[in-house]
């Protein structure tokens, strides 16, 4: 059984290399191209938004997976890098998304190896079920640092 949902954003050019985005869930902000593409520093760029979408989606799915695997998540922080390749004809594509999550999980009554293995499975499930990660052509690399604490 399939279900569908629709999400939307509205963008408006505001002059020079500036834009304004309104997201369907409420937030609004200005954006630009990155400085290396005649844009401005210090604001959202489409490239930042792409990497942020993948990173935030994987995190939300990891939270879901930890609940499903009955893990006690203490903290999660993930730096994700998107690698962009510029082809000879000036076509650009993100070829890789490299996730580096730092995860702290409570040990509970199980030994550390079991909890770490379950945490890795939860992270794999997060990637597998991430809408955004599943919607991109980029290679996905997960390189977690997991700490199981008492």
Instruction: For residues 59 and 117, state if they share a domain.
Output: yes
Instruction: For residues 40 and 50, state if they share a domain.
Output: no
- Is pLDDT at 140 greater than 90 in this prediction? yes
Q: What is the CATH number of the domain that holds 119?
A: 3.30.300.20
pLDDT tens digit string along 87-105? 777 788 899 999 999 999 9
pTM: predicted TM-score of the whole model, two decimal places: 0.90
Which among 97, 88, 65, 62 is positioned nearest to 76, based on CA atoms? 62
Domains of the chain: total: 2
Which three-class secondary structure state does DSSP give residue 121? helix
Instruction: For residues 63 and 12, state if they share a domain.
Output: no
List beta partners, residue 85.
93
Instruction: For residues 33 and 85, state if they share a domain.
Output: no
Domain span holding position 101: 46-149
User: 115-121, long-range: CB within 8 Å, 24+ apart, which pairs?
Assistant: 115/71, 115/148, 116/146, 116/148, 118/69, 118/71, 119/66, 119/69, 119/71, 119/144, 119/146, 119/148, 120/144, 120/146, 121/65, 121/69
């Amino acid at each position: 059984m399939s279900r569908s949902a629709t999400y939307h954003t509205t963008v408006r050019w505001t002059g020079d290399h500036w834009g304004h985005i309104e997201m369907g869930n409420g937030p609004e902000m200005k954006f630009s191209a990155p400085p290396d593409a005649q844009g401005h520093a210090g604001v959202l760029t489409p490239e930042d938004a792409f990497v942020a979408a993948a990173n935030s989606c994987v995190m939300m799915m990891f939270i879901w997976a930890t609940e499903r695997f009955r893990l006690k998540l203490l903290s999660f922080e993930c730096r994700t890098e998107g690698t962009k390749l510029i082809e000879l004809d000036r076509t650009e594509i993100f070829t890789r998304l490299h996730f580096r999550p730092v995860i702290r999980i409570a040990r509970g009554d199980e030994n550390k190896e079991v909890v770490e293995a379950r945490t890795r499975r939860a992270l794999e499930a997060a990637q597998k079920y991430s809408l955004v990660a599943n919607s991109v052509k980029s290679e996905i690399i997960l390189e977690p640092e997991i700490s199981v604490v008492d």
